[in-house]
Amino acid sequence: MKHTVVFKVDAENPAVEPIQKAAAIIRAGGLVAFPTETVYGLGADAMNADAVLALFEAKKRPLDNPPIVHVARTEDLYKLTEQVSPKAEKLIQAFWPGPLTLVFPRSQDVPEVTVAGLDTVAVRMPKHAVALALIRESHCAIAAPSANLAGKPSPTTAQHVLSDLNGRIDIILDGGATRIGVESTVLDVSVDLPMLLRPGGTPLEALQKVVGEVKLHPFITAEAELPAEKARSPGMKHKHYAPKAPVVLVEGSMAAVMRQVKELTSALWLENKRVGVLATDETAWAYEADVVKSLGSRRHVDAMAANLFRLLREFDEENVDAIIAEGVPTEGLGLAVMNRLRKASGYTILRVG
């Protein structure tokens, strides 16, 4: 059991001292949780195999699911890969620092454990002063998966990190709530036609504007779980984002969804279940479940993304027996929100009119 220390830091202008302390921990092979613009990450020296192994253990993460390696300068990318295609360069130019992770053929210098034995490495440059300062001060690339216990929703506040990882990590840099609220977009640029492996903070439409055609991995559009051998990104086949209570996702036109949510609530009440509904501003007023929470307005997908993981965690505290979630529009960050909701439901999806 470690003693986890929390340091408050200013998100825009972090003080030097906590950053130096955290960097010293990273250099010594320890574990530091830190804010990024997407979600909190749990960092370790990417080139230190023992430290990365400890990272997997702290999160209880399966060893076949590699973390993202974070850099603070483009030069540092070339220590991780020797193959940056012209398309990848364009994407870096357009989106780094920012919520876009790119998958490259990996250099042999990257430890096996950091890439979970794959021949590729996922890299991103976060757009957050605390994350960038920590990476610079550590003088190494930082491997950082989201700072949650495996299977749980990603943390968007230091409090979320603490509730999952207290006693399992060394330091949490508390820079307040993260801005975007869903993880980075993961795009494979180790192949000719870039392939979207995980929708996230950089919208698909923005990628298409810069590189033209982007292939969608079948998992992204999947309405049901695909067999694990089709996974291209190891994270696809693991349980994710799940609150304690089972989630049913209802997708379709707003009117049909509302009818279905009401019917489901009544059916669950007959079984004496305590029912939670994850609704939207446009629909929440109409429901009479035990707990009704709104993701925000359907017209503001960015705000829905920012609220999603916090609300999923809040349902755990409400001790509901079942959660009924509404599908959301899939433009912009909506694609990432819908992808997380589908995963949270374990693909228990009802499609209505």
- Could you list the residues that contact ligand TXA (CB under 6 A)? 36, 38-39, 41, 65-68, 99, 101, 103, 115, 118, 120-122, 126, 144-146, 183-184, 186, 197-198, 233-235
Of 196 and 279, the one with the shorter C-beta distance to ligand TXA is 196
Residue nearest to ligand TXA (CB): 235
State whether the Cα torsion 267-272-273-279 is positive or negative.
positive
Shortest distance, position 153 Cβ to Mg ion, whole Å: 9
Q: With CB cut-offs between 5 and 8 Å by kind, which of ligand TXA, Mg ion, none does residue 118 bind?
A: ligand TXA
The pair phi, psi for residue 317, each rounded to 5°, is: -70, -20
Rounded to the nearest whole angstrom, what is the least distance from the CB of residue 270 to ligand TXA in the complex? 38
**How far lies 193's CA from each of 2, 13, 96, 210, 211, in Å?**
45, 39, 20, 13, 9
CB burial string 54-69: b at 16+ within 10 A, e below: bbbebbebeeebbbbb
Question: Which amino acid, 111?
Answer: P
Q: Is residue 184 at the binding interface for Mg ion, with CB under 5 A as the rule?
A: no
In what helix (H) or strand (E) does residue 330 lie, and over which residues does it extend? none
| From ligand TXA, Mg ion, none, interface partner of 41 (C-beta below 5 to 8 A by class) | ligand TXA
CA dist 125 and 142 (Å) reads: 10
Question: Of 77 and 122, which has the nearer Cβ to ligand TXA?
Answer: 122
Burial class (CB in 10 A: 0-12, 13-18, 19+), 288: exposed
Minimum distance, C-beta of residue 94 to ligand TXA, in the bound complex (Å):
17
Quote the radius of gyration of the chain (alpha carbons, Å). Answer: 20
Tell me whether residue 61 or residue 261 sits nearer to Mg ion (CB atom): 61
| Closer to ligand TXA by Cβ: residue 185 or 345 | 185
Q: Residue 223: name the closest of 193, 191, 251 by CA.
A: 251
Q: Residue 262's beta-bridge partner residues?
A: none
Per DSSP, helices labelled H in the chain are 16-27, 49-59, 86-95, 129-138, 158-165, 204-211, 218-221, 254-270, 301-317, 334-344
Asked if 140 and 52 touch (Cβ cutoff 8 Å), the reply is: no
Q: Does 101 bind Mg ion (CB under 5 A)?
A: no
CB-wise, 58 or 186, nearer to ligand TXA? 186
Minimum distance of ligand TXA from residue 52's CB (angstroms): 12
Closest distance to ligand TXA from the beta carbon of 126 (Å): 6
Q: Which is nearer to ligand TXA, 55 or 245 (CB)?
A: 55
Which among ligand TXA, Mg ion, none contacts residue 103 (Cβ within 5 to 8 A by kind)? ligand TXA
Q: Which is nearer to ligand TXA, 197 or 350 (CB)?
A: 197
Q: Choosing among ligand TXA, Mg ion, none, which partner's interface includes residue 250 (Cβ < 5 to 8 Å by kind)?
A: none
Q: Which residues bind Mg ion (CB under 5 A)?
A: 146
